[in-house]
Structure 1
Amino acid sequence: LAVEAAMRAYARQMGEDEDLWGITGLIHDFDYEQHPTAEEHPLAGCSILEENGWPEEIITAIKGHATYLNVPRESLMARTLFAVDELTGLVTACALVRPSKSLADLKAKSVKGKWNDKAFARGVNREDIELGMQEMGVDRTEHINTVIEALKSVAAELELDGRLANSG
């Protein structure tokens, strides 16, 4: 849901097909729970998509988000998917450690402050985010702000609307 929201935001910003970009963001990791290894993900999911006649543009973008496949990210959609995928995880982690547990008061400065702390959100590959921003031609603050604003549109669904602030 988070990657979908970020993809939709960028599609709107760039005058691209919001539904195409959104569905790509939504399904890009659909095979991960059953196929979490580099040998299988995202190839297992892409095979399913191919068998069911999904557009090649979506399949290529999904393959491109896995750097170990060495699939070139030639389309703007593929570069954007790669750039937002890991960043949505970092933004989510930053929101969850705030007292408010909300995206509403999260600023790019806070995310940038956690950027170099490798112990924080350890699973987030910052190098992939950097490469993605470079491929898109966006700077860090702009990219973080776009993703934060995009995630605010689905904050309730992500439970990043503050409801967790007072729970246990």
Structure 2
Amino acid sequence: MAEQSFDRQAAWELLTEFTQSPHLIKHALGVEAAMRYYARLFGEDEEKWGITGLLHDFDYDRYPSLDDHPFRGAEILRERGWPEEIIRAILSHGDHTGVPRQTPMEKALYAVDELVGFVIACALVRPNGLADLTVQSVKKKFKDKAFARGVKREDVIRGAEDLGVPLDQHIAHVIEALRGIAPQLELAG
């Protein structure tokens, strides 16, 4: 049997094996882009961070219950021999798992997850998508509790704090990361 390759292509194949929802695939691509951005910023392994972002919710479409997600995904990753460092980061991205975030990669995944969803939601209601989205417009929507009400604002704030990045700068980084894949997200304007 050929040796398993744990590269971006393998991660993409795993994501698309388990995830049918276009919304969840776009979320995964957005989190991957934000993780790659932060890996470059922090001088870390961009491929590993990106793969972790791409896979963080791969089991959610099939196992959306918090009793299952991301635990089932971790089981599947272990069965298939994926690195424990990636599995642990994925487990740490949910407060309900009890896995503390310790490494920069784990903290970054938590910090970008909710914010990517929120920034995408902001871009979706703008005629130019991500092209002219500003930190100020994201923060204005952030204060509107009725907008994207599924996004836990306190998680976004805590994520930025734990990462050691001021909230405005964190929002700017995520916007910039997502602009890099705007066509894939259908948010090029």
Aligned residue for 1:74, secondary structure, equals: coil
TM-aligned CA deviation for residue 148 of structure 1: 0.3
TM-aligned CA deviation for residue 99 of structure 1: 2.5
Aligned residue for 2:183, secondary structure, equals: coil
Higher deviation after alignment, 110-119 or 5-14? 110-119
Q: Which residue of 1 is the match for residue 18 of structure 2?
A: none
Q: Which residue of 2 is the match for residue 165 of structure 1?
A: none
1:80 pairs, out of 74, 98, 108, with 108
Runs of 4+ off more than 4 Å: none
Indicate the structure with greater helix content: 2
Aligned residue for 2:162, secondary structure, equals: helix
TM-aligned CA deviation for residue 98 of structure 1: 1.3
TM-score by length of structure 1 reads 0.94
Question: Do the aligned partners of 2:161 and 2:167 also contact (CA within 8 Å) in 1?
Answer: no
Structure with the bigger RCO (C-alpha within 8 Å, sep 6+) is: 1
TM-aligned CA deviation for residue 105 of structure 1: 0.4
2:76 pairs, out of 29, 38, 48, with 48
Instruction: State the percentage of identical aligned residues.
Output: 59
Q: Report the Cα distance in structure 1 between the residues aligned to 2:49 and 2:71, rounded to whole angstroms.
A: 19
Q: Which residue of 1 is the match for residue 95 of structure 2?
A: 67
1:90 pairs, out of 99, 106, 118, with 118
- Structure 2 unaligned runs (5+)? 1-28
- Structure 1 unaligned runs (5+)? 163-168
Deviations 1:79-131 (A, max 9, x none): 0000000000110011111132x101001000011112111001111111111
Correspondence 1:135-154 to 2 at 5 A:
135-154=162-181
Q: Which residue of 2 is the match for residue 166 of structure 1?
A: none
TM-aligned CA deviation for residue 135 of structure 1: 0.7
TM-aligned CA deviation for residue 52 of structure 1: 1.2
Q: Which residue of 2 is the match for residue 26 of structure 1?
A: 54
Amino acid at match of 2:73: G
